[in-house]
Structure 1
Amino acid sequence: MILSTLEEILIQLCFAIFLLGTIFSWSNLTIYSTNQTRSFSKKIMVVGRLCITGLLVIRWLVADHLPLSNFYESFLFLAWSFTLVSLLLDKKVQNDWLDAIIAPSVMITYTFATLGLPKEMQQITVLVPALQSNWLMMHVSMMILSYGALLFGSLLAVTLLTLSPVGSTNPELRLNTTNLSIYIGKKNSTKEFPSVPLVQAMEDKKSSELLYFEFYKASLIDQLDYWSYRIIGMGFPILTLGILSGAVWANESWGAYWSWDPKETWALITWLIFAIYLHLRMTRGWAGTKAAVVASLGFAVVWMCYLGVNLLGKGLHSYGWFT
């Protein structure tokens, strides 16, 4: 009884915290930012991580099994995976953009789980016989963790494309340290370098604002590209482990390692898309918008594998999902 009451409290509290975190993180990024507001935003996210972790632990204690037996619990675990990624990056990314992306991602995922799914699916139930296996923790947790990492890394790529679309003609800034002057113009221009003395550019209000905006934008794009690559690189081996463990579990349960079930097929497509992405980055040197296009495709494919297959099709992976 106490655990059920605490669970209800945490369900309401998680939504309020991540909504508040979204408002403050976006305000810090676009409207008003001080050390106090940034610190408060970070504290909100810490409290949110603890609340959603507590919610999962309570369901684990009540159900006596890992809370991954149905769609609702997997969505909670996906939201928790987003907070785990942000925790790993929190000390490494000195910028407000991290919370501005993580907070709404967690809020939307969590809101869909609590408000968009039927109440019957949110109830704690006994595991069906097909899920009563030690492989449940290994396979399902690895798959959801990989989805969280791949979705977040791909979301950074989508943000990069929003800031710098393919084929855009954003101004390029190049600094000449010899005579302290700066070039502001089109990328790959053949004009002689430089064009504007640095002192003049800094004194002129319009030029100084352009300098600040373009340097900030270029720095942000570089960070998004770097961390998108690193996070996807972290999620890909986890996805590989999830698929391999699922194949072993399938052999034990169904007598075959691979059955071309819709979920298995889309998991393979997801693996291939991100394998291509990593191959192009490591061997072809792709970066920036070109790599972001492939990662953005991966973003759509992951959602199709995780959500679309269960909404549109029916297969061997339909336990505890939509039918």
Structure 2
Amino acid sequence: MSLADDRALSLNFILTKRFEMADSIEQLKQLATQRLSHLQSLIRPDLGSHKRIKLQRAGCGNSGSLLHDDVSAQHAKLLFDDYKNLFSEKANDQLRFITILHSVTSPTLESVIDAASRMEREINRAVGQAGVACLGATEIEVVNLKLLEKIKSLSDNEARKLNVLQNISDCSDVDPDCGVMIHFHGIVVSNSSLRNKELRSALTNVEDWARSPYQIELKNLFRNKTITQNLEKIASYVTKGGNENLRYNAGFGRDLPEDTDARIWRAGTGRADEGGETLTDERALTLHEIALLDRIWIALMSRRPDMRGYLIES
């Protein structure tokens, strides 16, 4: 048993004893809330659990955040429309897909909002300095450094992600197991090599973005797709909600829609209703992390009346 498990059991024991010794209804309510929160921080959904069920179990089944597939799809369509209005007359080679990995901070609402606001100010300043148009979205992702350390030998992608996250983490502020990565995806108009150079220079001069390789990426759009196809794909990608399937992402980018292990589970091997044993999904966010991620998204979205407060436009 790990030290973290020992601590979790000890805390549960303490809460149980306090619950037994409570001498008022109000005290019982407070302790019950604490105990529920503690249990949620330990519980991970079973392998193959549907996203909708995970959200319901975490208490945010009707929250309206980007974690819900129908909400994400609506926001992707809105952003796609914005992209078409701004960029549809441009050629593929005039646009760049930009990614900025800002920081990993502690998993609290206040810390994440503060870090996101700082990133947004720096993006507006750098893009304005370079004199280019930009439209994209702040994105947040719950990351588990302990899990990445465990699986880093599986591929270069996992090892690279772990290295970057460690470099951009505030070591005095971030839990060794869990943190929240604040980053940005968007499209910029970069229709000349000079503009491209000026933009990259403005971005790399930001101190927060000079801590690790891969923090800043400017990529060409796919040449084998039309401008409309590229814009639609990007709009969907940047509104996916970070932990798209409410699991820790092993590497950078989008995980496969269906992992092999989840497909096996749904086929009956691990389903209780099919006579199999259920298995805890080691890569699933805990119910507490799902609820936190949902609250953060609602806070970001609510910064604009149309619930699109995560957008950055320069």
Return the index of the structure with the highest Cα Rg: 1
Q: Same fold (TM over 0.5)?
A: no
- Pairwise TM-score range, normalised by the shorter structure: under 0.3
TM-score (norm 2): 0.26
